[in-house]
Structure 1
Amino acid sequence: MLDQLPIEILEEILTYIPAKSDLKRLCEVSKYLWVVVRPKLYRSITIKVSSEDKLNAVDVVPFLRTSLDPEGSDSLIFLKEIRIVAPISVYRFDRCEEVMVDCDMCPCQRNEKHCAAFLGRIPKQLNHIFCEMPENSLRSFGWELGTCIPQDILGGIGLFTQFQSRIDTLRLITDATCERNDLSPTGLEEFRHLRHLSWKGLSLEKDFKVLKACLHNNRKKLEVLEIATVELGEELDELESEDYFNFFAEKVLGITSSNGSGMQFPSLLHLSLGHLSFQSAFKGMATSFNVSALRSLKLYRCRHTFSLLDHIVKSKQTMKLKSFEIVLDGRERPLSEVGDEHEALITFLTSFEGLEDLCVLILKEIVLSPLSYLIAVYHHRSSLKRIIYHTRPVVGEALRDVWDPEYLEHLTEFVPETKLEFIGVNVNVTWMSEILENAPSYKTVKVVHIRKSGIDHADLDYTSEFHERYHSASDARLHPDSSNNNASAETAQVDGPHVNGNHPSRDDQSDRDYEIETDDSSSPPTSVIDEYYAEQEVDPDELIEIADRAFGPNGLPNLSILAYGDFSHNDRYPDFQILLCRNEDKDGAFPFRVMTAKDEHLWDRIDGGREILGACPVGDLMLGMDEWLSDDGFLIN
């Protein structure tokens, strides 16, 4: 039947089939489908390096074998996008020298010759593909290894400069800590057609000339710009050098206090900046980036963020933002008076309408109170679809997740008045019962993400433990008389919000917001933050209970997915990620089940849901040389 459909209709159908495996099967049905489907099947290739210990283990030969059809026609003529990706988890700095194939030497014995050998293999592999591709046919390239880029690829006479200089999308993840100064991708200066530029892990000192030339040559066309440097250490906080902190503004954008403006980006719609400073150049940067036309704005741990937001409000620009994501770590610098930083953020968020995403992560000092955040939520209640509020202040001598019962109480009052589809909260699992008290009234909520920072549980294989408990509880419910399941049956009989006792309701509490069960031998918490943090223990049985209630007949009526854990930076914490979906099988043990690869289509029903799981990451993608000394990538001053 598919063979009889017009090509135009088939091509439209193919837009709903993202999986390569499914496209491959379609190609094998008939010659007609092979002709129609092949361009989409070979439009993009992702070369995955499976291990951080072998970052240059790139092999494209298997792909090249499959690209030839039985008649010898090469499918590479359809190739438009190439991505080279690798996990960035354990090695987050100095990756070029620390991670090498077949190298047993310690880092101090390695030199530029070994580094060059490490980088030399990948260009040879890519050359196999480039030789078969039409010149300037590639449109997108991603170097996402977290290493320097070989000059043979993006150097002045590299493969791209010579053969594929008309790409419009470029994604780079490099290593700012590499001590080699001759590996900046100088070929970027030759690109003239970029609409999307993402560069994370760059070194301003080493790469600023290349970045400046690239931005200048593409400034009128750029629609998406993502720039993230790395935090370079405590000594720069003490330096307080205006020259350094205005480096990006002055050296790259050409903004000075005298001229007030520099490079202009009239077409820019999506802007993401990380570890940059707006110190005395916030006025010029607001003008350069055309903030009034932006659709999304992401600011990760940038200095003087509040000054930038305050200027945007005072300039009375009409904002069209649909998405706003911000990570604050106390380095935003207060304004002239105490409390001004809080006012600047709230005033900015309430100065315009139409926001759909509002994601906030606060590290160290809580500069935005929960109630203030909810004021912004309420202001955008008619348009907001996705929200995240995550606080992680200092507990003892480290940053830890802390939740606020007052926020939850008011959030539950606000939700029925909004159109929220996604809610991300860092809350104790048992306190989710508070949110679920009025669950039937949350008719628009499709995804709930219980956020937990993976760095706090790096040594715990929570995913495996949960799956084991889940299967045991399922067996106990389906076979309650089994003698082998007595212990699990007790867990599986979920009647209330607590495994080891009933959680107090609001009506049962006097002058305390909540109660904490403590051991007689333990001393009581010494502060409010200690109390909030005291209930952060992770228990899979509690999560099973909450999911049972959330997906149950008195739960959230349109809930599709319940997520738990840390999904930042893709699979950095695969052992601390749980995804549950509604179980349509009426004979199943629970109204939910663990999601599998076959359930990926569920994300198609949730606009932006998959991507926002990783929003507001607690840790940086790449680190500076000093950051690894702290236990979670943040130096606490």
Structure 2
Amino acid sequence: MLLELPPEIFNLVISEINHLRTLKDLSQVSKALHRHLLPFLYRDFKISVKDSNDLTQLHIPPFVKTYFKEDGTRDIVNCLSFVRNVEISPTISLQGHSCFENLIPHLFVRNVPSNQMEAEEHNNTVELIGKKALSVLLYIPKDSLQSFSWKLGFCEPPELLGPSGYLSQYQRRITSLSLFDDADCKLFPKSLTFTHFKHLRHLSWKGRVSEYHYLPALDANSDSLVSLELVFTNPSPFALLRDLSGPCTGYSHSRFAVTYLPKLRSLSLNNAWLQWDYLDLADAPFLEQLDSLKLLHCKRTLSFFERVMQLNRTIRLKSFELAVNDSDDGAIRPLHRGVIEDFLMSFEGLEELYLWDLIYQHNCEPSLVNGILHHKSTLRRLVHHWRGFVTLPSINFWFCEYPLPWHDCADLVFQNISLECFGFTLMPSVLKQKLEPYAANQRLKLLHLRVSWKATRELLINLFESRTRQPTRIMLDLPTEKRDHRDALCEEFTDIHNYLRVRCLLAFLQWAFGPTGLPNLKIFVVGELYGGSRPHIPFCRRPRDAPWPDASPQPPIMKRYKTFRIMTKADSYLWDEIEGARDMIGACADEWWGDFSPSANRFASRPRFPQGTTYRP
């Protein structure tokens, strides 16, 4: 029946299928249908690293397929002719966070004295990776690619992105370019160029972002660029302290140069200066046309909000994401967060609101609840995380999850807003108390309880070992030194809401997925959802027709519950059934805050997970 449709209708119907597994199942119906589905089955092509000790060993999926036609004859197909999106990314967690740590880690062990030797080995390794990828990419028809993504976290090979590289020579008509490289490598290829691309609609660059490279790209694509993401240098804690006195080299915030972008609808800036001399993002002509704005750990954020309101700019945002900390205006001091609430109340129509805040004192900041409720008629997805900032006489930084300042106002949110996705730091028992009276009016499909990675790991261990009564502190450990100071801090955080037990978590899930809970709930996640190596625990509703006991690997204690289970690979399609789920789980990323404490390395061992079980979307 599908094959009887006109080609344009057929393509439109198939394009609505957003899960590859469904397409593969559909392709098994008949050989003729399989043939027609080839452009959809092989639209995406991923080259990945298969050995963390030798990143030149790339995994390249087979791309030449042999099919038998209905008349029995063979048909050899080059699947690369259907590829429209290429991604080069790791399938494993790389061992380092810089170009040299990943590419040539033995240099640190060998203590190589010669910078020339380091440069030569670095360049040879990058060149080899580029040549291996190029040997495959050349089989893709010229100017047929729509998107290209480099996500390995180290320097891009000139063979791919240089002035005479593959993209510049063979794929000039790409509309989407995404790069993730090393911000600090001194051997970063200066020949990197984007000037050959004239049709970019989406540009994302994380790492060595410089005006020298990205401004020509913005100028060349000013009439076509729809979304722009720039993630500047990822600062270390020591560099962060240096930044407080103003712009500096190295780990510093970089300015975002305001340009004319008449079609821009989505802007995401991370670690950028929003005000610089006479330049001010608040004066940007495209500000009033934006549908989505993300400002993560940017300098002069509050000053930007104040300037926007002074200019009486008309804001039409549908999605707003903000991560702010107490050093964002150039000095460590408490922020006047009333500015954030004033900004939220200066316009209407938000559908997605993601907030991450870093505070100094426990429950002393304004709640922002009025700003949230101002968008009650349109808001569908809400994330609101606050993290405490504790400084000791030593140079260590310690970050603790606090109950929200609007903890006592959460019932007002549920009473007035029907949400589909909600991210929070309330304890499950408290959330149930706040949510239960209004559960019938909620459309909740996704809930995310955010706790530290260490707390998530301890919860995993307790879950698999059936230690249901073992309390887990939901904030990062306080240091063992300075015992008297630690005891004083611990007294502040002895509130019961700072501890979570597995039995309390499972009791909430039993209610939420049960007949009197949240009928639309599909996924509940505990943990941190940024950073590929960090654990999180996704639970989902068990299909009613699923066999019992569950055939998928589950902890023994999960056999007691028939309405939910830990998500498996077979359940991954649920993420695609929740609109905005992937945007929400990646929202408010603050991975560069969480890795400062020594406790991040003290607990290197991981619990043994059941084979075949996935703990990340």
TM over 0.5: yes
CA–CA distance in structure 1, aligned partners of residues 152 and 247 of structure 2:
33
Point out the more displaced range, 96-105 or 422-431.
96-105
Deviation readout 1:518-548 (Å, 9 max, x if unpaired): xxxx999746983267653443322111101
What residue in structure 2 maps to residue 14 of structure 1? Answer: 14
What residue in structure 2 maps to residue 312 of structure 1? Answer: 308
CA–CA distance in structure 2, aligned partners of residues 11 and 464 of structure 1:
47
What residue in structure 2 maps to residue 530 of structure 1? Answer: 492
Any residues of structure 2 matched to 1:352-371 within 5 Å, and which? Answer: 352-365=347-360, 371=366
CA–CA distance in structure 1, aligned partners of residues 346 and 146 of structure 2:
38
Q: Is the 8 A contact 2:100 2:122 kept in 1?
A: yes
Q: Is the 8 A contact 1:149 1:184 kept in 2?
A: no
CA–CA distance in structure 2, aligned partners of residues 422 and 88 of structure 1:
29
Cα shift at 1:429: 3.9
CA-based RMSD of the aligned residues comes to 3.6
CA–CA distance in structure 1, aligned partners of residues 262 and 122 of structure 2:
40
CA gap of 1:348–1:68, structure 2 versus 1, over 3 A, is farther
Point out the more displaced range, 325-334 or 14-23.
14-23
Cα shift at 1:46: 1.8
CA–CA distance in structure 1, aligned partners of residues 336 and 401 of structure 2:
21
Letter in 1 for 2:541: C
Match of 2:183 among 141, 153, 176: 176
Q: TM-score, normalised by structure 2?
A: 0.81
Deviation readout 1:199-252 (Å, 9 max, x if unpaired): 011254xxx311222222222321110001124443564463457699844xx7
Where structure 1 has 5 or more consecutive residues not aligned to the other structure, the ranges are: 254-261, 470-487, 492-498, 502-521
Cα shift at 1:263: 2.1
What residue in structure 2 maps to residue 125 of structure 1? Answer: 132
Letter in 2 for 1:555: G
What residue in structure 2 maps to residue 453 of structure 1? Answer: 452
CA–CA distance in structure 2, aligned partners of residues 329 and 342 of structure 1:
10
Residue 44, structure 1, aligned to residue 56, structure 2: no
Letter in 1 for 2:46: T
CA gap of 1:106–1:38, structure 2 versus 1, over 3 A, is same
Residue 541, structure 1, aligned to residue 503, structure 2: yes
Residue 75, structure 1, aligned to residue 35, structure 2: no
Match of 1:155 among 162, 168, 188: 162
SS at match of 1:354: coil
What residue in structure 2 maps to residue 216 of structure 1? Answer: 219
What residue in structure 2 maps to residue 228 of structure 1? Answer: 231
Cα shift at 1:186: 2.0
CA gap of 1:406–1:310, structure 2 versus 1, over 3 A, is closer
Q: TM-score, normalised by structure 1?
A: 0.78
Q: Is the 8 A contact 1:384 1:418 kept in 2?
A: yes
CA gap of 1:406–1:364, structure 2 versus 1, over 3 A, is closer
What residue in structure 2 maps to residue 438 of structure 1? Answer: 437
Residue 600, structure 1, aligned to residue 549, structure 2: no
Q: Is the 8 A contact 2:266 2:292 kept in 1?
A: yes
SS at match of 1:212: helix
Deviation readout 1:93-135 (Å, 9 max, x if unpaired): 32x3222489586263261122123212322222233322221
Q: Is the 8 A contact 1:7 1:36 kept in 2?
A: no
CA–CA distance in structure 1, aligned partners of residues 433 and 399 of structure 2:
22
Letter in 2 for 1:307: S
Residue 466, structure 1, aligned to residue 463, structure 2: yes
What residue in structure 2 maps to residue 495 of structure 1? Answer: none
Residue 612, structure 1, aligned to residue 612, structure 2: no
CA–CA distance in structure 1, aligned partners of residues 214 and 362 of structure 2:
33
What residue in structure 1 maps to residue 387 of structure 2? Answer: 392
Q: Is the 8 A contact 1:402 1:532 kept in 2?
A: no
Any residues of structure 2 matched to 1:407-422 within 5 Å, and which? Answer: 407-422=406-421
The percent identity for this pair of structures is 26
Cα shift at 1:408: 2.9
Deviation readout 1:576-602 (Å, 9 max, x if unpaired): 323332553598833222222333333
CA–CA distance in structure 2, aligned partners of residues 339 and 318 of structure 1:
28
What residue in structure 2 maps to residue 201 of structure 1? Answer: 207
CA gap of 1:431–1:49, structure 2 versus 1, over 3 A, is farther
What residue in structure 1 maps to residue 426 of structure 2? Answer: 427
Cα shift at 1:446: 2.0
Letter in 1 for 2:422: I
SS at match of 2:401: coil
Counting helix residues as a fraction of each chain, which structure ranks higher? 1
Cα shift at 1:287: 3.0
Would you say how many aligned residue pairs link Structure 1 and Structure 2?
Answer: 561
Residue 404, structure 1, aligned to residue 407, structure 2: no
SS at match of 1:190: coil
Any residues of structure 2 matched to 1:530-569 within 5 Å, and which? Answer: 530-531=492-493, 535-569=497-531
Cα shift at 1:286: 2.5
What residue in structure 2 maps to residue 591 of structure 1? Answer: 563
CA gap of 1:439–1:48, structure 2 versus 1, over 3 A, is farther
Letter in 1 for 2:539: L
Point out the more displaced range, 274-283 or 115-124.
274-283
Counting strand residues as a fraction of each chain, which structure ranks higher? 2
CA–CA distance in structure 2, aligned partners of residues 523 and 371 of structure 1:
27
CA gap of 1:68–1:180, structure 2 versus 1, over 3 A, is farther
CA–CA distance in structure 1, aligned partners of residues 580 and 309 of structure 2:
28
Cα shift at 1:291: 1.2
Where structure 2 has 5 or more consecutive residues not aligned to the other structure, the ranges are: 69-73, 472-483, 550-560, 602-617
Letter in 2 for 1:598: A
Letter in 2 for 1:200: K
Q: Is the 8 A contact 2:50 2:58 kept in 1?
A: no
